[in-house]
Amino acid sequence: MNSDTEKDLKQLLAYTSYQKIYVITGKTDLRKGIDGLATFVKEEFDLDPFNNALFLFCGTKMDRFKALVWESDGFLLFYKRLENGRLLWPRKDSAAKLITQTQLKRFLQGFPLSPSVQPATIGAWY
């Protein structure tokens, strides 16, 4: 992880200790602001945007994302645009995928949320 990405991640995680981290898969209209994203979380996924959770959104271009979190006195909205590279954002369907802080760190380093190598099944070789 380069120093800028590591610094950004530390800033993102330093504001509060999130109980949950959700990646909103698919494409989100990043023209939405705080109210639009909070309403989207509530109406589309039946999640409470006020429950100390971090919500991550990505639009059509996978070189930028937004993060929304409620603090005790208001919402905090982060916006990040990568100068080089793209995120491996899950696109199959629109869902709220619960992840850990370790998964978030690896995801922002460029690793996919789902492993591309599946566990082997034991075959009848013997």
pLDDT tens, 19-48?
Answer: 899 999 999 999 999 999 999 999 999 999
Compute the average pLDDT of residues 70-97: 86
Domain spans in the chain, listed from the N-terminal domain onward: 3-108
Distance from C-alpha of 67 to C-alpha of 90, rounded to nearest angstrom: 16
pTM for the predicted model, two decimal places: 0.79
Distance from C-alpha of 84 to C-alpha of 88, rounded to nearest angstrom: 13
Q: What angle do CA 112, 97, 33 make, to 5 degrees?
A: 100
CA distances from 111 to 20, 102, 108 (A): 20, 11, 7
Please give the pLDDT value at position 89: 82
Judge whether residue 84 has pLDDT over 70.
yes
The amino acid that residue 66 corresponds to is K
